[in-house]
Amino acid sequence: MTEVSMEKDLNTPHFGEHFMLDGYGGDEKSLDDREIVFHCLNELPEKLGMHKLSEPLVYFASGNDGKDPGGWSGFVVIEESHISIHTFPKRGFVSIDAYTCQNGMDSVFVEKYFTDAFALKDAETNFVVRGKRYPEKNI
């Protein structure tokens, strides 16, 4: 999507926004730290003006014999939707989703937040405007 069409989408009524980040070259120790994952999920909603419905849940996933060497997976449910983090310390990789029904998410801030938290050397981001035809009234 071009910057012009993205700007048009953001200025058109829509239900929400979905920011995705795939981070590369991250610090193995940070990516393998349950407390950092928990802290990010616990702190970020407030920094974005969102409201947690529960404490974050963070689990260790042991991986498999394929492309997944294991890491931490965490999730926090917010009134506005959710934020999830999946780390792969042995690959220096993290996959993150932040989905909200709020409009105007500061994706630049979110990218910097996670780049700093996991000492990422590079990141790919995607931003999707969701619910462009969301009904204006209840049925």
So which residues are the catalytic ones? Answer: 81, 86, 101
Quote the crossing angle between the two packed helices 107-117 and 34-47, to the nearest 10°.
160
Q: Which residues contact 5 (CB under 8 A, 6 or more apart)?
A: none
Element (H, E) at 10: helix 3-10
Question: Tell me, what amino acid is at 52?
Answer: K
Q: What angle do CA 120, 43, 85 make, to 5 degrees?
A: 50
What one-character DSSP code corresponds to residue 123? E
